[in-house]
């Protein structure tokens, strides 16, 4: 079966750094996505990791270790607008996207 | 704005009824995906179409069906609706069959 685990909720302070972890067990692996979703809105793309290592994009970075079935999303210089749900998704398909999403980590940024 | 358009944004209907949700992908995208998001669950993959043909199937109920038309827009048909079908239904699109998905704003279905 396919399984993705991420913490349900996290709280952090404005200006700080937060790391959101994601572990997965899937029948295949063809990349890992991170999406941001504000309540009642569409998920928006943050990052895509296919190979091991760290991908940096502005205040957001994402890390992948395929051997450990592990990824994390690092958010720096937190802003109030970063309060949202962060979804980890694994593409376990081969020639076509078959994404399984985690239930998301609800991040609350406090002043 | 992702460029993916979904209608209607909100829909309220009764049990046993049938509804159709519509999605227009981003210009140039050939793949369309449908996802269901309930309050207590994450995004559940329903079905994917690529250039008019069904490409992958997820946990889509037999009461649900979808299609992608020659102009690449897609429709998700939900029939014999039950209370448990109340959810946000998202459409997403991608250029090919792999890579980044762009999500629409969703259609919120409430079954009373």
A34: closest CA of chain B, how far (Å): 10
Q: What is the pLDDT of residues B62-76, one digit of tens each?
A: 999 999 999 999 999
**pLDDT of B23:** 98
Q: How many residues does chain B have?
A: 112
Of B41, B101, B103, the CB nearest to A97: B101
Is residue A96 pLDDT above 90, yes or no? no
List of chain B residues whose C-beta atoms are within 8 Å of the C-beta of residue A91:
98
Element housing B22 (H / E): strand B19-24
Residues in chain A: 111
Confidence of residue B20 (pLDDT cuts 50, 70, 90): very high
Query: Which residues have CB under 8 Å from A22's CB, separation 6+?
Result: A4, A5, A6, A32, A34, A70, A71, A72, A73, A88, A102
Residues of B with CB under 8 A from a CB of A: 2, 4, 31, 33, 35, 41-45, 48, 50, 55-56, 58, 88, 90, 94, 97-106, 108
Is pLDDT of A97 > 90? Answer: no
Whether A95 sits inside 8 A of B56 (CB atoms) is: no
In this predicted model, what pLDDT tens digit does every residue of A6-62 receive, in sequence order?
999 999 999 999 999 999 999 889 899 999 999 888 999 999 999 999 999 999 999
**Alpha carbon distance, N-terminus to C-terminus of chain B:** 31
Residue with tokens 């279905």: B109
Q: Identify the pLDDT of residue A1.
A: 75
State the pLDDT at residue A25.
Answer: 94
Which whole number is the average pLDDT over B80-93? 96
Q: Find the CB nearest A97 among B41, B42, B48.
A: B48
B27-42, pLDDT tens digit by residue?
999 999 999 998 777 8
Residue A10 neighbours by CB under 8 Å, 6+ apart: A18, A20, A105, A106, A107, A108
Q: Decide if B58 and A98 are in contact by the 8 Å CB cutoff.
A: yes
Interacting residues of A96 by C-beta distance below 8 A, sequence separation 6+: B48, B50, B55, B56, B97, B98
Contact flag A33-B90 (C-beta cutoff 8 Å): no
Which among B56, B94, B104 has the least Cβ separation from residue A42? B104
């Amino acid at each position: 079966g396919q399984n993705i685990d991420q913490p349900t909720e996290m709280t952090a302070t404005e200006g700080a750094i937060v790391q959101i972890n994601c572990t997965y067990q899937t029948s295949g692996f063809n990349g890992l996505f991170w999406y941001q979703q504000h309540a009642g809105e569409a998920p928006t793309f943050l990052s895509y990791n296919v190979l091991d290592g760290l991908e940096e994009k502005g205040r957001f970075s994402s890390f992948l270790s395929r051997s450990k079935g592990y990824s994390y999303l690092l958010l720096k210089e937190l802003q109030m607008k970063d309060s949202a749900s962060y979804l980890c998704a694994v593409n376990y398909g081969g020639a076509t996207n078959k994404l399984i999403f985690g239930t998301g980590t609800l991040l609350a940024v406090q002043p | 704005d992702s460029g993916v358009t979904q209608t209607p944004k909100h829909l309220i209907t009764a049990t046993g009824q049938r509804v159709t949700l519509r999605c227009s992908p981003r210009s140039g995208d050939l793949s369309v995906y449908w996802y269901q998001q309930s309050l207590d669950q994450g995004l559940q993959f329903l079905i994917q179409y690529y250039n008019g043909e069904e490409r992958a199937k997820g946990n889509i109920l037999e009461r649900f069906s979808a299609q992608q038309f020659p102009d690449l827009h897609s429709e998700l048909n939900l029939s014999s609706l039950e209370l448990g079908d109340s959810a946000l239904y998202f459409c997403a699109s991608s250029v090919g069959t792999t890579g980044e998905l762009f999500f629409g704003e969703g259609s919120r279905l409430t079954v009373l």
